[in-house]
Structure 1
Amino acid sequence: MLRWSLGFLVLALISAILGFGGIAGAAAGIAKILFFVFIVLVLLSFVLPVIKKPNA
């Protein structure tokens, strides 16, 4: 998912350089959303094993 986020970020930068403001804004917004989803999933993957730790 981080790869998708970086891909949309690159698309946004290239679009901004070429002057396509609407496409650049949309791609930047998608990249931002995907990045935050990635961060939430990473945090969950670290926290859930600690919470579900069996009582041994």
Structure 2
Amino acid sequence: MQTGTPNASYALAERRKEGWSVTFRSVPYDAQRAADCAARYQRDDWARALKTGWFEDSPG
């Protein structure tokens, strides 16, 4: 989940005759716009994660 990049990341897993095949994808998007939206809703934690690709541990 934490990739250190603001890109949207996912994996495709396909079962084939010879076994499983996994393909990783990274898709750029307007991370600043998404972060600005999160900040408008007082979700600074999400805004930071959307911009950087890293979540910080919550306090406590």
> TM-score when scaled to structure 2?
0.37
Larger Rg: 1
| Higher percent of residues as strand | 2
| Higher percent of residues as helix | 1
> TM-score when scaled to structure 1?
0.40
